[in-house]
Chain A
Amino acid sequence: DTGVSQDPRHKITKRGQNVTFRCDPISEHNRLYWYRQTLGQGPEFLTYFQNEAQLEKSRLLSDRFSAERPKGSFSTLEIQRTEQGDSAMYLCASSLGQGNYEQYFGPGTRLTVT
């Protein structure tokens, strides 16, 4: 059973550039979540999908952030015009749904904006 995978694992970018991250959930998991975590804090919710439908989006998510899950499988998170405050670990998690709500996390993508 393959776990959640994320790519890339690390990304260094200059302020103002766009970046895109990919998440592949555990197969058969129909719910996919994105979180952001900064040092010393717990993960903060960004958005989640059930299949291809984006069901909730955090108010923390500015218009520079967009996420997609076009075929209900993998998901992408794009950040446009990155700012230094975007530097964080971006975590993806998936859950089976259907009465099973446990979320399993991928290894994360660490973003550094210089």
Chain B
Amino acid sequence: QKEVEQNSGPLSVPEGAIASLNCTYSDRGSQSFFWYRQYSGKSPELIMSIYSNGDKEDGRFTAQLNKASQYVSLLIRDSQPSDSATYLCAVGFYGQNFVFGPGTRLSVLP
């Protein structure tokens, strides 16, 4: 049974701070890792993908992957109130279905 775990939150950070979201996964053979943002009542929106160990940066977002520790994280720099949403971690094998975590609810306080 492949499992993906996330702290459900809510995680509250002040505007302008760095938000750190974490995810662990059970299947050591997992090959692809994704972060999605989901606003209440909306569908998930892809933020970033990462396939190799290390960091990957895109604007204010940085994804970090450590396959040895089975751990993936998302950092959001200069957090804005518009970043308030649920962040879903998804893990998969190439081309196959994803296993999603339950999501972490982030609240950015003005």
Residue among B49, B90, B96, B102 with max Cβ neighbours from chain A (10 Å)? B96
B102: which A residues are within 8 A, CB to CB? 40-42
Q: In chain B between 8 and 32, which residues have their CB closer than 8 angstroms to a CB of chain A? A: 8, 32
**B60 neighbours in A (Cβ, 8 Å):** none
- Proximity string of chain B (40-60) to chain A, C-beta cutoff 8 Å, 1 when within and 0 when not: 001111100100000000000
A45 x B99 contact (CB < 8 A): yes
Complex CA–CA separation, A89 to B43 (angstroms): 9
Q: Point out the residues of chain A lying under 8 angstroms from B94, CB to CB.
A: 101
**Interface size of A in residues (CB-CB distance below 8 Å):** 25
A1 at the interface (CB under 8 A from B): no
Q: Which of A91, A97, A101 has the most CB of B within 10 A?
A: A101
| In the assembled complex, A44 has its CB within 8 A of some CB on chain B | yes
Q: Which residues of B contact A43 (CB under 8 A)?
A: 44, 88, 98, 100
Known: A42-B88, A102-B49, A105-B43. A97 touches B95 (CB 8 A): yes
Known: A42-B102, A42-B103, A101-B92. A33 touches B43 (CB 8 A): no
Q: How far is the CA of A3 from the CA of B91 in the complex (A)?
A: 22
Given A41-B102, A102-B34, A106-B43, A33 and B95 contact (CB-CB distance below 8 Å): no
Contact B97 A107 (CB under 8 A): no
Give the B-binding residues of A (Cβ under 8 A): 31, 33, 35, 40-45, 48, 50, 56, 58, 89, 91, 95, 97, 101-108
Query: What is the interface of chain B, defined by CB distance below 8 A to chain A?
Result: 4, 8, 32, 34, 36, 42-46, 49, 88, 90, 92, 94-103
Q: List 26 A-B contacts (CB under 8 A).
A: A33-B97, A33-B98, A35-B100, A40-B8, A41-B102, A42-B88, A42-B100, A43-B100, A45-B97, A45-B99, A48-B97, A50-B95, A56-B97, A58-B97, A89-B43, A91-B43, A95-B95, A97-B95, A101-B32, A101-B92, A101-B94, A102-B34, A103-B46, A104-B46, A105-B36, A106-B43
